[in-house]
Chain A
């Protein structure tokens, strides 16, 4: 084999290939953002759900739990917890924390008032309505 292999061609392929695939990625991103409203037509992002999302973020819920499979793997998946457990269980659970059972994983008490708990539930209802292409495989998340 006596093929040539030059740095300038390698460099051009790096620049050209990167620009090409980044533009393609931008195109797919544009398509995704345009397709989202109909893809997630069932997911209602209410004002309460938006407030609930802020609570989710400022209590670092993703530091222990996954949400649609992303986050930490210390506690259960919560994207579908609204379906799995229902709103009353969620509120009761958060009020009862921590269990203080020796040796068990502990969830902090966040001292949320009833309105805030409703917002968290609204957010988790919204996440359960997102069209995740049938993930997770079963209700256990």
Chain B
């Protein structure tokens, strides 16, 4: 650290609560708290639909499966966005070595986003979906009713405005501050997130084009720009907890995200096999997506290498555990499980089965839930005025890590077996069973998945409890 920045640090510490370098980083705290709250909501609705898989009429007609699933997936997206935004508000000032351009705007944005998100969920649960669509202007510009993009038009516009306010705030901070590779990659990823979200307003009548550009949001988010955000967040935490030279971490960051986009952009083609698009996508999509595990593998090696080469023993061991976990689980979920169904010859049989769901659960948890939890784990103690939580609190957090992670592995394995059963009985059999007959055969696996889901929820509760464990603080 340069003398100048050390001096800034000393000056800041005199004013700000201990440990955060810039007072305005504190705006990240409500974002992270909201993220955790919405995460709990997501899992509760996950349990509801998990139960509906085995008890089909559970809560019907009060909360139908389609509504509960929509809440489950939308809460996932929203809590991850809260996590990314909190991470941005914490990371950018620290990297840029200056206060946030406007902390007040960040707080206003927070409340706008939270209220808009809450109203949307209330709308989902309180109104029939077509009434909600009618009331919110879907007739003017139909955008609703497509996976992950079910939000009413006004919510979508709200998301764009919130994103613009957030990006304006961070970009202004970056422009007049120190420009590090980590902060630039983070902002590139966040800008990409906002730009590709604009395709959620594109909904051609032609179903093929509708599906084609739907993936420009969904795929180019999770297998494109979100990986930039993830890489930047992981690199930031690794710089902090390992003390490895920033130059080394940043060059690996660039190389990994280069591989991500080189494979991932054309890799979108693995969604264009059977939706009415030309057959050549089977070749292009298979080849590029077959290489998509490479950057995830590099990410894993990167995390472990940096921790191995660490030059300090950071007292926050829980954060290091989350960082390593992100590396491993994103590789397994996005890399390995993604690869399982990605080749067109395999995908012909697995497309639209529980195998897709198994990959989705492990990849979303392993890559994005875990990287946000890594960031929260590293920053929350600082935001609460200490470098790390007490060993007791960290032990609870680590236990929560293992319970949640092993539960998601359980869910993934159950759904993989369920998907394999579907492929076998419904797709490959010489006397194929109907969809619902096949489902009857899978019931035991759905029960097992529900048990794993309850395990995940208990892990999440442990995680929540870890914030309230005081124990003896170090030094």
User: Is B434 within 8 A of A74, CB to CB?
Assistant: no
| A66 CB, nearest partner CB in chain B, Å | 4
| A99 CB, nearest partner CB in chain B, Å | 9
| B93 CB, nearest partner CB in chain A, Å | 23
Task: Find chain A residues with CB under 8 A from B70 CB.
Answer: 60, 63
Task: Find chain B residues with CB under 8 A from A137 CB.
Answer: 348-349, 427-428
User: Is B251 within 8 A of A105, CB to CB?
Assistant: no
User: Is B206 within 8 A of A36, CB to CB?
Assistant: yes
Task: Find chain B residues with CB under 8 A from A66 CB.
Answer: 352
Asked if A77 meets B349 with Cβ closer than 8 Å, knowing A21-B265, A63-B67, A137-B428, the reply is: no
A102 proximal to B (CB < 8 A): yes
Task: Find chain A residues with CB under 8 A from B69 CB.
Answer: 63-64, 72, 74
Which B residue sits closest to A18, measured CB to CB? B261
Interface of B, secondary structure class, is helix
User: Is B276 within 8 A of A36, CB to CB?
Assistant: yes
User: Is B266 within 8 A of A21, CB to CB?
Assistant: yes
User: Is A60 within 8 A of B255, CB to CB?
Assistant: no
Asked if A10 meets B65 with Cβ closer than 8 Å, knowing A45-B205, A69-B352, the reply is: no
Chain A's interface size range is: 35 or more
Complex formed: what's the CA distance from A68 to B57 in Å? 26
B138 proximal to A (CB < 8 A): yes
Q: Which of A1-35 contact B (CB under 8 A)?
A: 5-7, 10-11, 13-14, 17-18, 21-22, 24-25, 28-29, 31-33, 35
Q: Which of A114-141 contact B (CB under 8 A)?
A: 126-127, 130-133, 135-141
B133 proximal to A (CB < 8 A): yes
Q: Mark A30-73, 1 if CB is under 8 A from B, else 0.
A: 01110110011001010000100110111111111011111111
User: Is B255 within 8 A of A14, CB to CB?
Assistant: yes
Task: Find chain B residues with CB under 8 A from A29 CB.
Answer: 212
Complex formed: what's the CA distance from A105 to B436 in Å? 10
B178 proximal to A (CB < 8 A): no
Asked if A76 meets B145 with Cβ closer than 8 Å, knowing A63-B67, A68-B276, the reply is: no
B165 proximal to A (CB < 8 A): no
B126 proximal to A (CB < 8 A): no
B52 proximal to A (CB < 8 A): yes
Task: Find chain A residues with CB under 8 A from B428 CB.
Answer: 137
Asked if A140 meets B433 with Cβ closer than 8 Å, knowing A36-B277, A106-B57, the reply is: yes
User: Is A140 within 8 A of B432, CB to CB?
Assistant: yes
Task: Find chain A residues with CB under 8 A from B211 CB.
Answer: 68, 70
User: Is A108 within 8 A of B181, CB to CB?
Assistant: no
Asked if A6 meets B275 with Cβ closer than 8 Å, knowing A60-B66, A73-B352, the reply is: no
Task: Find chain B residues with CB under 8 A from A130 CB.
Answer: 207-208, 275-276
Complex formed: what's the CA distance from A16 to B251 in Å? 15
The interface on chain B, measured as residues whose beta carbon lies within 8 A of the other chain's beta carbons, has a size of: 75
User: Is B262 within 8 A of A21, CB to CB?
Assistant: yes
Task: Find chain B residues with CB under 8 A from A139 CB.
Answer: 432
User: Is B150 within 8 A of A60, CB to CB?
Assistant: yes
The segment from B15-23, B353-361, B467-475 that touches chain A is: B353-361
Among the listed B53, B134, B279, which residue makes an inter-chain contact with A133, where contact means beta carbons less than 8 Å apart? B279
Task: Find chain B residues with CB under 8 A from A110 CB.
Answer: 130
Task: Find chain B residues with CB under 8 A from A50 CB.
Answer: 205
User: Is B352 within 8 A of A70, CB to CB?
Assistant: yes
User: Which of B209, B211, B265, B266: most chain A Cβ within 10 A?
Assistant: B265
User: Is A69 within 8 A of B205, CB to CB?
Assistant: no
Which A residue sits closest to B255, measured CB to CB? A10
User: Is A74 within 8 A of B65, CB to CB?
Assistant: yes
Among the listed A17, A59, A72, A132, which residue makes an inter-chain contact with B276, where contact means beta carbons less than 8 Å apart? A132
Task: Find chain A residues with CB under 8 A from B65 CB.
Answer: 63-64, 72, 74, 105
| A97 CB, nearest partner CB in chain B, Å | 10
User: Is A53 within 8 A of B60, CB to CB?
Assistant: no
User: Which of A45, A75, A106, A131: most chain B Cβ within 10 A?
Assistant: A106
Task: Find chain B residues with CB under 8 A from A92 CB.
Answer: none
Task: Find chain B residues with CB under 8 A from A61 CB.
Answer: 66, 145
Task: Find chain A residues with CB under 8 A from B109 CB.
Answer: none
A86 proximal to B (CB < 8 A): no
Complex formed: what's the CA distance from A59 to B65 in Å? 12
User: Which of A64, A69, A106: most chain B Cβ within 10 A?
Assistant: A69
Task: Find chain B residues with CB under 8 A from A69 CB.
Answer: 274-275, 351-352
If A28-B269, A60-B66, A135-B274 are given as contacts, then 7 extra A-B residue pairs at C-beta distance below 8 Å, sorted by A number, are A7-B181, A21-B266, A25-B265, A60-B144, A72-B66, A110-B130, A140-B426
Enumerate chain A interface residues (CB-CB to B < 8 A): 5-7, 10-11, 13-14, 17-18, 21-22, 24-25, 28-29, 31-33, 35-36, 39-40, 43, 45, 50, 53-54, 56-64, 66-77, 98, 100-106, 108, 110, 126-127, 130-133, 135-141
Q: 30 A-B residue contacts at CB 8 Å? A: A17-B258, A17-B262, A24-B265, A25-B268, A31-B278, A32-B277, A32-B281, A36-B277, A39-B276, A57-B145, A58-B133, A58-B138, A60-B129, A60-B144, A60-B145, A62-B145, A62-B147, A69-B275, A72-B147, A73-B356, A74-B65, A74-B69, A76-B434, A105-B56, A131-B276, A132-B275, A133-B279, A137-B428, A138-B427, A140-B434
